[in-house]
Amino acid sequence: MLFGAFLLKRMSEEIKTKSFVLYDSFFEAAGEMKMDYKAFGEFVVLLREYVVLGKERRSDDYRVNALLATAKPQIKASTNRYRNAMKGKDDG
């Protein structure tokens, strides 16, 4: 279930990304790990840096790192679907 999206700006060689999605499952996992708002906020900041800026950083909080490890494959899959859709759009 989609919770919401953050509008962000980024330019890359292949695609222009303006947003990324925070899925409800991220919130559920954070709740299961008893993650407080500060730690979840750090997760969102690090996820944004990963998606928009291409930076991969780690946290001192193992819960943030665990949540990032689960989010990254979903983000990569979404980005690949987007790229493939854009290729199809350009081809025809």
Residue ranges of domains in the chain: 2-91
CB-CB contact of 15 with 83 (8 Å): yes
Q: Tokens in use for 46?
A: 């690090």
| pTM recorded for the entire structure | 0.71
> Which helix H or strand E contains 2, and what residues bound it?
strand 2-11
Average pLDDT for 33-56:
91
CB-CB contact of 9 with 64 (8 Å): no
pLDDT digits (tens, 9 = 90+) for 6-20: 323 333 334 456 677
Please list, residue by residue across 13-23, b when 16 or more beta carbons sit within 10 angstroms of its beta carbon and e when fewer do.
eeeeeeebebb
pLDDT, residue 18, reads 61
Q: For residue 89, how many other CB atoms are within 10 A of its CB? A: 8
